[in-house]
């Protein structure tokens, strides 16, 4: 909105308000207002532009009158009290610029007295234009302007002066001094450089005065300072002239050998931070700041590549800035000179030379080879001195001082006293110039023995004796040989002839080192009684061994070393129980021989198996032929004999005790013969059957297990213990139950068992065959047979059984048979009819009507002979020929005490 157009309306509004207030009866009045005041632009601060007074019937409180509003709003004026009234002052906020500020300001001045009366008047301030000089619009208004020009920059504008005239009058620009390499545009104020500056040749700075004027007012001035900026536009330059240096080898690392200097045309203290480097760095290092070159490692002129070329060429570089600076390089040559720093070196430094003991004087022993690696001939010459040898007695000498050849001057014969097998010599190689370095070579001269003498046996013949009883490893004797050669290299013994017999190429062995002769096997006097051996002694010379022979006679001493040999040596026979004493059993006889014993030297004894001495040999001694006879009769019915199978172990000794001189050990040799005799009851016959026989096999065995299967017996034992505990529990309650019952009904009646066990009938017969496996059975339980009432023993693991008190037939009268072979009885099938029973090898079994207990399983029994229960009985009470009746089972009576069982009553059937 245009404020100028609004002023009449505002004035009217203010006027109406004023008169309204006046009409209300106020007494305060602003005198001198309203008013219009002209103020020049840019008037200074605190300038008084007008004044007025206040009249009131009361008092004006502090803070009044005041400017409550302005149009436009401004804080450029303030009301300040004076002694005579009030004045309007410029505050300087903002600067009253005619070109930028409004043309006039309407200030509303308000006053209020202590009674509350007020007055409001308007003061109009009109800003008047004043002609002003130009002003700078940049930093030249308040300070000097600094301008930096990089050297080598092209010509052109370096700065634009900014200025303005308040009245927009055209300005004129000028520059002082006019002779400087700068100019200014008269109209635009652009300062221009007129040359390319070089920091190293031109002034480093320029002071320029800029003037600006509008043609009316005085010119305004400003200062522009121009600085030339240095750049790295120059490469460093080496200032040293020497490029070749001579140094001796073997300098201590860190030794200074050269000092490199350089300078830079650029500002040395500011830009030219020179940094030195060297390449390669194998031998030298350089201080990057000072340029001092030092030795970095030992330089050996005598080693390659310096041995071939003593010059070390390095490249030294200098750069004036670590990053992207300018650099220069130059080559430096070091000439390394040789010094005498190496001793002569003998390679090898140890020599081992073999020389025969027969070598003559003047023989070349060896030539020492030494070298000196110094390059300069004056430093690598040496000579050989100080040949030393302990206890050599001038046996060796140097052939020449510079040749290093050692020759023999004495004798090396080992047979001479005090001549050792080895000599130790030392030779020194020494420089001929200072500092006279030395090296020592060691020579070991080994004297090679020459085999000149053969071994000698002392004595030349030997006689030894050995018994034919001596076995492998027996030492017979020792032979010995000596050798005069020194040193003694040892002698090896061997048997080259004799000693072959018994299918062996040689039964003798000689220790090759000690000459001890031993047996490789037992000699046999009966084959060879004397051996003549040729023993050879060989010295241990590897090239020309020498030998000597000795004769060794070995006499074999006769001894009783042969056992009697009898035929047959194993025999089995079967004889009846009624064989008469004195009878030659089946015409059996032994025929014996012995290579070293006469026929009259034999003696016969039965070592084992002859129970009750039933058997004997006749004659017992003095003959090589003897017969087996029955010495004592058998008594099975009387209980004396219980053994049916006899295994006789017969010893035959030769009784050939030779004299003490010929047989110091007195050995008696013994041969053995085994005779098996089976005794059977005579008279047993067999009856042919019309039907094919049936065969019953009974096999008794016990479990076995691997020895490493420890868990098997453990599990079996645990199971048996649990089973026995359970059975014991049942038996305990069964015994309690039976103790309250009458068991007379269970007693078997004697009449039942009067029927014969075997009847001669033509009916079908049943053949019972028993297959026995003999076990070492332990009978650990006892029980009563419910049928017979007899006590039997049993094994709880395998179930094997046997009668505890076996009844033996008395006065047996066997039936004569045509042969002495064992007859197996055949039981007729009719024996199963009726209420009879069958006697088998399994024991006695009744039918199901008689004894219910027999249905649980067959009883097992070890049988070693005919069972008396299986013999024929008379079914009608008629007498039988030659047989005694079987004992009748006793009937158990009420109140009869149970029999007491003893271990002594046990017997096998």
462 pLDDT band (50/70/90 cuts)?
very high
Say whether pLDDT at 555 is over 90: yes
**Residue 558 pLDDT exceeds 90:** no
Q: What stretch of H or E contains 8?
A: helix 3-23
Average pLDDT, integer, range 205-227: 91
Query: Looking at the predicted structure, is the pLDDT value of residue 756 above 50?
Result: no
pLDDT at 772: 45
User: 237-337 and 464-539: same fold?
Assistant: yes
**pLDDT higher than 70, residue 5:** no
Does residue 589 contact residue 627 with C-beta atoms inside 8 Å?
Answer: yes
Q: How far apart are CA 210 and CA 144, in angstroms?
A: 10
User: So what's the pLDDT on residue 194?
Assistant: 92
> pLDDT tier at 709 (50, 70, 90 boundaries)?
low
pLDDT band of 888, cuts 50, 70, 90: very low
Lowest mean pLDDT among 113-122, 368-377, 757-766, 795-804: 757-766
pLDDT-based confidence at residue 492 (cuts at 50, 70, 90):
very high
| Beta-strand relationship, 256-259 and 292-295 | antiparallel
Superfamily of domain 3-128: Cadherins (2.60.40.60)
CATH of the structural domain 464-539, one choice from 2.60.40.60, 2.40.50.100, 3.50.30.10, 3.40.190.10: 2.60.40.60
192: pLDDT confidence band, cut at 50, 70 and 90? very high
Diameter of the chain by CA atoms? 197
Percent residues over pLDDT 70 in the chain: 75
Contacts of 78 (CB under 8 A, 6+ apart): 67, 88, 89, 91
DSSP annotation of 612 = G
Tell me the Cα Rg of the chain.
77
Does 490 score more than 60 pLDDT? Answer: yes
Residue 831 tokens read as 């024996």
Q: Topology of domain 565-680, per CATH? A: Immunoglobulin-like (2.60.40)
State the fold for domain 237-337: Immunoglobulin-like (2.60.40)
The structural domains of the chain, with segments of one domain joined by +, span 3-128, 135-229, 237-337, 345-448, 464-539, 565-680, 742-905
Q: Which CATH superfamily is domain 345-448 in?
A: Cadherins (2.60.40.60)
pLDDT digits (tens, 9 = 90+) for 222-280: 999 999 998 888 888 899 889 999 999 989 999 999 999 998 887 655 555 789 999 99
pTM of the model: 0.36
DSSP 8-state symbol, 644 = -
Helices (H) and strands (E) in the chain, counts: 2, 60
CATH superfamily of 135-229: Cadherins (2.60.40.60)
Q: How confident is the model at residue 848 (pLDDT cuts 50, 70, 90)?
A: very low
Residue-level pLDDT at 807: 43
- pLDDT for 759 equals 41
The model's pLDDT over 141-154, given as tens digits with 9 standing for 90+, comes to: 889 999 999 988 99
Residue 172: predicted pLDDT: 92
Q: What is the reported pLDDT for 513?
A: 93
Higher-confidence position of 685 and 172: 172
pLDDT for position 276: 93
């Amino acid at each position: 909105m245009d404020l100028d157009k609004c002023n009449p309306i505002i004035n009217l509004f203010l006027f109406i308000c004023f008169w309204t207030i006046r009409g209300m009866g106020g007494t305060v009045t602003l005198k001198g207002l309203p008013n219009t005041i002209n103020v020049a632009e840019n008037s200074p601060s605190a300038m008084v532009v007008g004044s007025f007074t206040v009249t009131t019937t009361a008092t004006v409180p502090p803070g009044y009158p005041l400017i409550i509003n302005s149009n436009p709003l401004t804080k450029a004026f303030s009301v300040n009290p004076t002694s005579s009234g009030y004045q309007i002052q410029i505050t300087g906020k903002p600067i009253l610029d005619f070109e930028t500020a409004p043309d006039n300001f309407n200030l509303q001045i308000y006053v209020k007295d202590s009674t509350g009366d007020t007055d409001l008047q308007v003061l109009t301030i009109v800003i008047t234009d004043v002609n002003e000089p130009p002003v700078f619009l940049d930093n030249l208004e308040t300070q000097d302007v600094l301008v930096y020009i990089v050297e080598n920059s092209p010509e052109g504008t370096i700065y634009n002066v900014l200025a303005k005239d308040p009245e927009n009058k055209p300005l004129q620009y000028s520059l002082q001094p006019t002779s400087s390499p700068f100019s200014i545009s008269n109209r635009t104020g652009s300062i221009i450089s007129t040359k390319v500056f070089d920091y190293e040749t031109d002034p480093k700075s320029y002071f320029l005065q800029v003037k600006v004027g509008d043609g009316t007012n005085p010119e305004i001035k400003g200062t522009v300072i121009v600085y030339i900026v240095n750049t790295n536009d120059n490469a460093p330059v080496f200032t040293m002239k020497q490029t070749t240096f001579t140094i001796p080898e073997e300098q201590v690392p860190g030794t200074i050998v050269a000092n490199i200097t350089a300078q830079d045309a650029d500002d040395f203290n500011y830009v030219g931070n020179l940094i030195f480097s060297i390449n390669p760095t194998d031998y030298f290092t350089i201080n990057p700041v000072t340029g001092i070159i030092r030795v970095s490692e030992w330089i050996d002129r005598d080693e390659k590549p310096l041995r071939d070329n003593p010059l070390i060429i390095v490249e030294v570089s200098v750069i004036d800035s670590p990053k992207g600076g300018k650099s220069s390089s130059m080559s430096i040559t070091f000439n390394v000179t040789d010094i005498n720093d190496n001793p002569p070196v003998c390679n090898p430094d140890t020599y081992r030379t073999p020389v025969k003991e027969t070598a003559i004087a003047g023989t070349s022993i060896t030539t020492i080879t030494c070298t000196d690696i110094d390059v300069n001939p004056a430093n690598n010459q040496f000579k050989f001195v100080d040949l030393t040898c302990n206890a050599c007695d001038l046996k060796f000498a140097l052939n020449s001082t510079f040749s290093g050849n050692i020759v023999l001057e004495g004798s090396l014969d080992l047979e001479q006293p005090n001549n050792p097998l080895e000599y130790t010599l030392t030779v020194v190689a020494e420089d001929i110039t200072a500092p006279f370095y030395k090296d020592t070579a060691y020579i070991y001269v080994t004297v090679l023995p020459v085999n000149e003498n053969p071994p000698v046996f002392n004595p030349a013949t030997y006689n030894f004796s050995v018994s034919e009883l001596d076995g492998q490893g027996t030492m017979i004797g020792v032979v010995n040989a000596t050798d005069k050669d020194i040193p003694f290299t040892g002698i090896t013994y061997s048997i080259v002839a004799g000693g072959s017999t018994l299918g062996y190429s040689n039964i003798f062995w000689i220790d090759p080192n000690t000459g001890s002769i031993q047996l490789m096997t037992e000699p046999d006097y009966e084959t060879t009684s004397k051996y003549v051996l040729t023993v050879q002694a060989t010295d241990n010379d590897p090239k020309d061994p020498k030998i000597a022979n000795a004769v060794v006679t070995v006499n074999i001493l006769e001894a009783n070393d042969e056992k009697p040999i009898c035929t047959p040596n194993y025999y089995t026979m079967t004889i009846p129980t009624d064989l008469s004493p004195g009878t030659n059993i089946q015409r059996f006889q032994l025929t014996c021989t012995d290579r070293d014993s006469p026929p009259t030297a034999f003696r016969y004894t039965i070592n084992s198996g002859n129970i009750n001495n039933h058997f004997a040999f006749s004659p017992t001694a003095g003959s090589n032929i003897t017969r087996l006879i029955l010495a004592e009769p058998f008594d099975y019915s009387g209980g004396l004999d219980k053994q049916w199978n006899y295994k006789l172990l017969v010893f035959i000794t030769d009784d050939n005790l030779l004299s003490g001189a010929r047989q110091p050990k007195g050995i008696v040799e013994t041969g053995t013969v085994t005779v098996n005799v089976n005794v059977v009851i005579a008279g047993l016959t067999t009856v042919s059957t019309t039907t094919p026989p049936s065969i019953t096999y009974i096999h008794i065995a016990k479990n076995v297990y691997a020895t490493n299967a420890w868990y098997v017996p453990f599990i079996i034992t645990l199971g048996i213990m649990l089973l026995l505990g359970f059975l014991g529990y049942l038996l305990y309650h069964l015994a309690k139950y039976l103790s309250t019952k009458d068991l007379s009904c269970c007693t078997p009646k004697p009449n039942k068992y009067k029927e014969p066990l075997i009847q001669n009938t033509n009916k079908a017969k049943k053949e019972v065959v028993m297959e026995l496996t003999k076990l070492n059975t332990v009978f650990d339980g006892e029980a009563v047979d419910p049928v017979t009432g007899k006590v039997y023993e049993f094994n709880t693991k395998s179930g094997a059984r046997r009668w505890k008190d076996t009844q033996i037939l008395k006065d047996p009268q066997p039936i004569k048979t045509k042969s002495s072979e064992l007859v197996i009885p055949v039981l007729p099938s009719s024996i199963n009819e009726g209420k009879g029973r069958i006697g088998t090898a399994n024991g006695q079994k009744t039918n199901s009507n008689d004894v219910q207990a027999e249905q649980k399983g067959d009883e097992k029994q070890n049988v070693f002979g005919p069972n008396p229960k299986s013999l024929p009985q008379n079914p009608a009470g008629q007498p039988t020929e030659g047989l005694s009746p079987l004992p009748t089972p006793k009937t158990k009576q009420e109140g009869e005490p149970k029999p007491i069982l003893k271990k002594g009553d046990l017997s096998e059937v």
